[in-house]
Amino acid sequence: MRIYEKRLKSGLKVLVSPKRSLESVGIVVGVGFGSIDAGSRYTGLAHYLEHMMFKGTSKRNWDEINEITRRYNIYYNAETDYETTMYEASVHRRYADRAMELMSDMIKHPKFDRTEFKHELGPILHETAIRKEDPESILYDNMPHILFGQNGLLKPSTESMIINNISLRHIKSAYAKYYNPRNVVLAIYGGLAAEEGFALAKKYFADFERPYMKPERKTIIPTGRPSVLMMKKRDIGRGEVGMALGCDGIAKANFSEYTAMNALAGILNNRLYDQIREVRGLSYDPSVEYSAYGTFSYLMASAGASPSKLPEIKKIIQEEFKRLKDSKIGKRELDVVRRGLEIKYSTDSDDAMESAISIAETELMYGSGKLIERIPALIRGLDADTLRKLISKYFTMKNYGTIVLSNRT
């Protein structure tokens, strides 16, 4: 992957990565504003603002926006995370101009209609309620609070209550503060040449200008003590157990550590899959994932199963964490994971929108979207000594958090 970058006179950073073999183009506007930036009083503000960006502009209402996306088969979506909000489009390269014009209009000229603001509260609360009923979502939403909660991450169960207190004034204020060219990045990936991508960016975003206020964001550190959360929910068909390690954010660490932690996740994932699913038949979906942000990251192992099997699964996960800490990483085991990461990097590059998202996220959270170009070399350079140093750094009891979710009878 080759990534080209330019900064428009307005300050907007544009990154273009051509892959002419693709018919599709991924266009992503990433904003350096996420759930941790609004503070505990207004958690959910970034998510509410994301929804409002789809509700009309100064020249289009939501119905006209939807008509354009349907007419030109533009897949358009957005997602809010802890540190970013991503506005995403995937379109045939023939209609990239249409998608770019629509996206620029929505980003530059949102209307923030009061009636639409009131109407959108229902879908947001419903979306939140859906996550609260899904065992895997419950795990992923609560684990950062368990690991880092007192240092800046609010417990998700309070979000619905706080969203009700967000006003249209809060929405407009957040937009004015965070949606400015130096806190926004435009990433384009796929079937356009670099010069075509830059020409579209200049055509539709050259006039994107407003005062810059740099967001203040503190580094988040683990709570410094092992934490366990036992949760019970009515009417869930399965339980879930997760165990995680709180780690440094990539802005404080480095991108080499990001790649190495993904390798550790792969090794632990393979070991747990073999033990939990293949050897003992306890769970369908044991997995290990490394979730990395600029200010914090964590490595989590999880598995869903019937509540009666959760104690045994929890014990296996604990044992495998300990075994990884105490045992050697064999050459063959590392080679398998290294090769898997190489193939994943190659196949991911065929997805235009996801690749554009990765470029935008890397720019906003880790400091430079071009870091992605280094991934193949970093994967090839992985060795057991590097992984062992990270194990010594993070695999301590004070960094662990555990969640067990079971059915309430």
Contact 190, 27 (CB under 8 A): no
222 within some domain: no
277: domain CATH number is 3.30.830.10
The residue out of 205, 239, 256 marking a domain boundary is 205
Place of tokens 């992605």: 372
What letter would DSSP give residue 66? H
Residue 409 confidence (pLDDT): 59
Residue 235 confidence (pLDDT): 65
Residue 150 pLDDT exceeds 60: no
Average pLDDT over residues 290-302: 93
Domain co-membership, 252 together with 347: yes
Residue 153 confidence (pLDDT): 56
Domain co-membership, 194 together with 233: no
Residue 251 confidence (pLDDT): 72
Q: How far apart are the first and last CA of the chain?
A: 52
Please give the Cα distance from 151 to 11 (Å, whole number): 32
Please give the distance of CA 153 from its chain centroid, rounded to a whole number: 15
Tens of pLDDT, residue by residue over 300-344, are: 999 998 888 999 999 999 999 999 998 888 899 999 999 999 999
DSSP codes, 330-359: -HHHHHHHHHHHHHHHHHHTT-HHHHHHHH
Please, which pLDDT band fits residue 154 given cuts at 50, 70 and 90?
Answer: low
Residue 66 pLDDT exceeds 80: yes
Residue 24 confidence (pLDDT): 96
Buried/exposed 192-203: b ≥16 CB within 10 Å, e otherwise: bebebbbebbbe
Helix (H, G, I), strand (E, B) or coil at 150: helix
Pairing mode, strands 85-92 and 75-80: antiparallel
Contact 181, 10 (CB under 8 A): yes
As a whole number, the mean pLDDT across the chain is 89
Domain co-membership, 148 together with 28: yes
The residue out of 150, 172, 205 marking a domain boundary is 205
Residue 226 confidence (pLDDT): 77
Instruction: From 383, 373, 271, select the one nearest 335 (Cα to Cα).
Output: 383
219 within some domain: no
Domain co-membership, 135 together with 271: no
Tens of pLDDT, residue by residue over 164-186, are: 788 999 999 999 999 999 999 99
Q: Which helix (H) or strand (E) holds 203?
A: helix 194-205
Domain co-membership, 132 together with 51: yes
Please, which pLDDT band fits residue 390 given cuts at 50, 70 and 90?
Answer: very high
Residue 155 confidence (pLDDT): 53
Residues paired with 189 in a beta bridge: 17, 26
Residue 114 pLDDT exceeds 90: yes
Please, which pLDDT band fits residue 145 given cuts at 50, 70 and 90?
Answer: confident
Please give the Cα distance from 264 to 162 (Å, whole number): 37
Residue 370 confidence (pLDDT): 93
Tens of pLDDT, residue by residue over 120-135, are: 999 988 888 888 888 8
Q: Which helix (H) or strand (E) holds 316?
A: helix 310-326
Residue 156 pLDDT exceeds 70: no
Residue 224 burial (CB < 10 Å; 0-12/13-18/19+)? exposed
Helix (H, G, I), strand (E, B) or coil at 259: helix
Domain co-membership, 270 together with 376: yes
* Interaxial angle between packed helices 331-348 and 255-272, expressed in degrees from 0 to 180 and rounded to the nearest 10: 110
Q: Which helix (H) or strand (E) holds 43?
A: none
- Of the two residues 216 and 145, the one the predictor is more confident about is 145
Task: Supply angle C-alpha 132, 136, 141, rounded to 5.
Answer: 60
Average pLDDT over residues 215-243: 77
Residue 234 confidence (pLDDT): 66
87 within some domain: yes
Domain co-membership, 152 together with 267: no
Residue 264 confidence (pLDDT): 96
247: its two tokens: 């780690």
Please give the Cα distance from 100 to 106 (Å, whole number): 10
Residue 47 pLDDT exceeds 60: yes
106 within some domain: yes
216 within some domain: no
Residue 160 pLDDT exceeds 80: no
Domain co-membership, 10 together with 144: yes
Domain co-membership, 238 together with 185: no
Domain limits for position 30? 4-205
Q: In what order do the strands lie in the sheet with 296-305?
A: 227-233, 400-407, 239-248, 296-305, 287-292
Please give the Cα distance from 154 to 162 (Å, whole number): 11
Residue 236 confidence (pLDDT): 66
261 within some domain: yes
Domain co-membership, 196 together with 232: no
Residue 187 confidence (pLDDT): 98
The number of folded domains in the chain is 2
Instruction: From 228, 221, 220, 255, select the one nearest 244 (Cα to Cα).
Output: 228
Q: Which helix (H) or strand (E) holds 386?
A: helix 384-394
Average pLDDT over residues 52-75: 93
Residue 13 confidence (pLDDT): 96
Domain co-membership, 37 together with 131: yes
Please give the Cα distance from 377 to 341 (Å, whole number): 11
Residue 230 confidence (pLDDT): 83
210 within some domain: no
Residue 378 pLDDT exceeds 60: yes
The residue out of 205, 240, 274 marking a domain boundary is 205
Domain co-membership, 270 together with 196: no
212 within some domain: no
